[in-house]
């Protein structure tokens, strides 16, 4: 679960500025001045050595917003305007998903334990006496000191200290990654191993310096609209958790971006429910111990890369996006399809699916509203077909279970909900494959609370919960 912080605000400012300049046909002309206007001479650098470092960081953070990996930079002297021109003129989007802004990723040290000034220099010296590597010595003032060349980060000293004067200093992105897909290189820069990454997006919001970015497709989408191409937006059910507006109003606002229509993926969720329920019934009759859901792309990545023993238990039913694409293509056969959702994992699913073209996150949609001057609160649109509540319920933990139970009341379902793919829950799923599952239908979602707490949302989880309950008529 992400908390609102300054790195998110800065990221959204970047996107809004770029969108606004694009709208005014001034992106190439004025983008090089953005780092200067955002970090003027009389401003304080945000924890960095000087404004010049801050400006360099701003420049590199704008590359993924333009749709480039940071390591695709030609050289340090290449201005942003060159990349902006390439972004506007390209016809193929990047297949990359995440990138690390190395200029911003220099502050964290490798995970270790540190003695604070709370140390009393006590006679007991439990920290040093229990250290298996003799890594703790004492200074002239009696306070303990840890020799990090010897320390193996076992944490025994922290547990032994009665004054709690030894603290654990994590590398936040590494600490939160459930599959050890992000690690520092010899220069102290984090690198994402895409052979391990499940695209859960936890690292993006965990980084206190905002150095991990998605590769955005905003410019590609705006350019396609400007070229007169027909684009259809398909909106994930969790979009109802992001705006204090009705679905028709949200859809109408999205269409003002330039989409011919904005369709609820909750319609596709109903088809997923019908197929998944029938599949569950069939597999239980065949004697399979349990079946898991298949709609979370990060969970599917986890199974494929780290949990192959779970493959026989995963539903073969397509995700709601899959069936919504079919609906959109039937109505608009020549249109390009854009998925609108809250997560990084969907970017991978979009790349892998041959019939969908682009992806927008809720955060990006909100910055499009801001940059294009679309005021969703002034829109009044009530005459629109809306999806059933069961389909919309896919947005939160337990929603798939509820939908299947509603449509298949005669199936003896013993549900289990696993929401949040952390190390503990991955271990739990592994145990289920060994015959320890207490139920027969396991709903798995990468995010705590489900998609309404996705890493690329506009609001935090607590606020999203309240908005979603209101949209579902529960308050």
The first and second tokens of residue 384, run together, are 């629109």
Tell me: the pLDDT tens digits for 145-166?
999 889 999 999 999 999 999 9
Q: Judge if 341 and 199 occupy the same domain.
A: no
Cα of first residue to Cα of last residue in the chain, in angstroms, is: 23
Q: Judge if 146 and 255 occupy the same domain.
A: no
Q: Is the pLDDT of residue 79 over 80?
A: yes
Q: Long-range contacts of range 227-230, CB-CB < 8 Å, 24 or more positions apart?
A: 229/336, 230/260, 230/332, 230/334, 230/335, 230/336
Residue 253 within a domain: yes
Count of domains forming the chain = 3
Cβ proximity of 280 and 274 under 8 Å? no
Q: Judge if 148 and 276 occupy the same domain.
A: no
Residue 85 within a domain: yes
Q: Judge if 342 and 454 occupy the same domain.
A: yes
Q: Is the pLDDT of residue 81 over 80?
A: yes
Residue 101 within a domain: no
pLDDT at 2: 54
Q: Judge if 141 and 255 occupy the same domain.
A: no
Comparing 22-36, 38-52, 84-98, which segment has the lowest mean pLDDT? Answer: 38-52
Q: Judge if 342 and 426 occupy the same domain.
A: yes
Q: Judge if 376 and 421 occupy the same domain.
A: yes
Residue 156 within a domain: yes
The enclosing domain of 406 has a CATH number of 3.40.950.10
* Helix ranges (DSSP H) in 132-182: 156-160, 172-176
Q: Judge if 179 and 161 occupy the same domain.
A: no
The first and second tokens of residue 21, run together, are 């300049």
Tell me: the pLDDT tens digits for 365-406?
999 999 999 999 999 887 788 899 999 999 999 999 999 999
DSSP 8-state code for residue 410: T
pLDDT at 179: 97
Tell me: the pLDDT tens digits for 290-347?
999 999 999 999 999 999 999 999 999 999 999 999 999 999 999 999 999 999 999 9
Residue 224 within a domain: no
Q: Judge if 24 and 156 occupy the same domain.
A: no
* Cβ atoms < 10 Å from Cβ of 200: 28
Arithmetic mean of pLDDT, 422-439: 96
Q: Judge if 50 and 194 occupy the same domain.
A: yes
Q: How far apart are CA 17 and CA 27, in angstroms?
A: 9
Q: Judge if 141 and 240 occupy the same domain.
A: no
Q: Judge if 62 and 117 occupy the same domain.
A: no
pLDDT at 3: 56
Q: Is the pLDDT of residue 350 over 80?
A: yes
Question: DSSP E strands: which ranges in 141-299?
Answer: 144-146, 166-169, 182-184, 190-192, 212-214, 231-235, 261-264, 291-292
More confident residue, 187 or 167: 167
Arithmetic mean of pLDDT, 437-449: 96
Segments forming the whole domain that contains residue 47 = 6-92+173-219
Comparing 92-96, 175-179, 326-330, which segment has the lowest mean pLDDT? Answer: 92-96
pLDDT at 115: 95
pLDDT at 99: 95
Tell me: the pLDDT tens digits for 117-141?
999 999 999 999 999 999 999 998 8
The first and second tokens of residue 291, run together, are 């079946």
Residue 366 within a domain: yes
- Computed over every residue of the chain, the mean pLDDT equals 93
Share of the chain above pLDDT 90, in %: 81
pLDDT at 74: 75
The first and second tokens of residue 18, run together, are 């770029």
Reported confidence tier of residue 44, pLDDT bands at 50, 70, 90: low
Arithmetic mean of pLDDT, 228-238: 98
pLDDT at 368: 97
Residue 397 within a domain: yes
Residue 205 within a domain: yes
């Amino acid at each position: 679960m992400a908390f609102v912080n300054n790195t998110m605000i800065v990221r959204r400012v970047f996107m809004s500025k770029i969108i606004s300049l694009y709208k005014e046909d001034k992106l190439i002309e004025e983008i090089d001045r953005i780092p200067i206007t955002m970090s003027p001479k009389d401003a304080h650098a945000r924890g960095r050595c000087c404004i010049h470092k801050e400006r360099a960081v701003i420049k590199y953070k704008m590359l993924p917003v333009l749709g480039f990996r940071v390591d695709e930079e030609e050289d340090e002297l290449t201005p942003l305007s060159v990349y902006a021109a390439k972004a506007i003129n390209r016809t193929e989007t990047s297949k990359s998903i995440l990138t690390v802004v190395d200029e911003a990723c220099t502050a964290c040290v490798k995970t270790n334990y540190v003695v604070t000034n709370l140390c009393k220099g006590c006679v007991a010296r439990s920290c040093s006496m229990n250290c298996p590597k003799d890594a703790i010595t004492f200074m002239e003032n009696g306070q303990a000191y840890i020799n990090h060349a010897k320390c193996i980060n076992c944490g025994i000293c922290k547990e032994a200290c009665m004054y709690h004067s030894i603290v654990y200093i994590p590398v936040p992105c590494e600490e939160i990654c459930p599959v050890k897909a992000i690690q520092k290189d010899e220069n102290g820069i984090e690198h994402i191993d895409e052979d391990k990454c499940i695209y859960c997006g936890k690292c993006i919001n965990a980084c206190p310096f905002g150095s991990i970015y998605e590769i955005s497709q905003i410019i590609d989408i705006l350019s396609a609209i400007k070229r007169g191409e027909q684009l259809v937006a398909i909106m994930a059910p969790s979009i109802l958790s992001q705006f204090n507006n009705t679905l028709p109003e949200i859809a109408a606002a999205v269409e003002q971006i330039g989409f011919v229509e904005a369709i609820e993926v909750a319609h596709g969720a109903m088809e997923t429910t019908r197929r998944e329920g029938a599949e569950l019934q069939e597999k239980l009759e065949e004697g399979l111990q349990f079946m898991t859901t298949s709609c979370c792309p990060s969970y599917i990545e986890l199974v494929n890369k780290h949990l192959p023993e779970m493959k026989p238990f995963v539903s073969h039913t397509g995700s709601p996006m899959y069936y919504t694409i079919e609906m959109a293509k039937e109505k608009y056969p020549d249109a390009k399809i854009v998925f609108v959702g809250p997560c990084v994992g969907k970017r991978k699913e979009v790349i892998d699916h041959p019939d969908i073209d682009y992806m927008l996150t809720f955060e990006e949609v909100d910055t499009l509203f801001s940059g294009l001057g679309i005021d969703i609160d002034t829109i009044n649109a009530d005459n629109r077909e809306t999806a059933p509540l069961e389909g919309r319920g896919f947005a939160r933990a337990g929603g798939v279970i509820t939908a299947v139970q509603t449509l298949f009341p005669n199936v003896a379902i013993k549900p289990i909900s696993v929401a949040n793919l952390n190390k503990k829950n991955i271990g739990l799923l592994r145990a289920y494959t060994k015959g320890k599952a207490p139920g027969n239908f396991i709903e798995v979602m990468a995010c705590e609370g489900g998609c309404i707490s996705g890493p690329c949302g506009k609001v935090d989880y607590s606020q999203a919960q309240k908005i979603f309950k209101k949209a579902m008529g529960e308050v």
